[in-house]
Chains A and B, each alone.
Chain A
């Protein structure tokens, strides 16, 4: 079945440091890929998405590129802020056909802490 693997956390960075959170996936077909962010005490918010190979999703300074050849969707940001402290989830959907293709399959999440 489908699966998503994220780098283990927690990740602690100083403000203005460069961020990479690795994400690889296993899926049949051609899934859509997503990054969601969860701030403490809140639900998940969509951060960015990419729906086909070589697409780049971007939002709030974060970027991720859909790499089909390496089955990866790594999240990057050039300069993190304290307000970026949260848990980040990589997810996929739509790898199969029928109703089951709409469900999201998530990684375990990576907790990011940014210190001033």
Chain B
């Protein structure tokens, strides 16, 4: 059973650089979510895709953040001109079609550290 895969696991970069993360969901899942988790906090919702359509964006997702899911399979999350406050764990999750009771399955996350 292949779960949600995220790459890279860790990313260290200097402030001002651009970074891109990749998420590969469970193959039969058509919904994909991005969350951000800071130390000692629960994950916070960033954005959501159904197939290739981005249907919801949190106000946490500033103009420096962009997410894509071009063919309705894998997704990328890009952060431009990174800032110290972007340091966090970025989590991807996927779920199958159905109501909001469908559980979301999470990857192990990408930990971003801004120097």
Chain A 72-116 interface 0/1 with B at a Cβ cutoff of 8 Å (1 = within): 000000000000000001010110000111111111110000000
Is there contact, CB below 8 Å, between B103 and A102? Answer: no
Expressed in whole angstroms, the Cα–Cα distance for A101 and B105 within the complex equals 17
Q: Which residues of A sit under 8 angstroms from B56, Cβ to Cβ?
A: 99-100, 102-103
Q: How large is the interface on B (under 10, 10 to 19, 20 to 34, 35 or more residues)?
A: 20 to 34
Q: How large is the interface on A (under 10, 10 to 19, 20 to 34, 35 or more residues)?
A: 20 to 34
Q: Which residues of A sit under 8 angstroms from B105, Cβ to Cβ?
A: 46
Determine the residue in chain B with the shortest Cβ distance to A101: B100
- Does A42 make an interface contact (CB < 8 A)? yes
Task: Return B73 CB to nearest CB of chain A, in Å.
Answer: 19
Expressed in whole angstroms, the Cα–Cα distance for A25 and B112 within the complex equals 30
Determine the residue in chain B with the shortest Cβ distance to A48: B103
The B-contacting residues of A in range 42-59, CB under 8 angstroms, are 42-46, 49, 51
Chain A 23-44 interface 0/1 with B at a Cβ cutoff of 8 Å (1 = within): 0000000011010100001111
